[in-house]
Amino acid sequence: MAKALSKSQLAGEIATKAELSKKQAVEILEHLASLAYKHAKNTFVLPGLGKLVLVNRKARIGRNPATGEQINIPAKRVVKFRVAKAAKDAILGG
């Protein structure tokens, strides 16, 4: 299995493609991440990739795998990433 691109490798690819310096590409990546954090509560869309959404999970009963004892898991909000159809088709070849 291939290794994931590191931040510096990703910035290098962006810098080469857009004819920018690596420092500018890193700033773009950091700004994109900060925008995603700031706007995730209203859903943040990356066109062609997917979107970040907040989801409310209901309270439920779970099990402690070590003892088998039932435990109550409280309701909470979680962040999910929904992959765009275009990304699925490009990756999976649909």
The per-residue pLDDT for 56 is: 94
By DSSP bridging, strand 60-63 and strand 44-46 are unpaired
Could you tell me how many residues make up the chain?
A: 94
| Structural domains in the chain, sorted by start | 1-38 (no CATH), 43-94 (4.10.520.10)
Q: Beta partners for 61?
A: 72
Mean of all residue pLDDT scores within the chain: 93
The whole-number pLDDT of residue 93 equals 86
CA distances from 59 to 9, 47, 53 (A): 41, 33, 19
Residue 13's H or E segment, with its range, is: helix 7-18
Phi, psi of 80 (to 5 degrees): -125, 155
Find out whether 55 and 36 touch, Cβ atoms under 8 Å: no
Q: What is the pTM of this model?
A: 0.74
pLDDT for the residue 2: 78
Give me 69's structure tokens.
């004892």
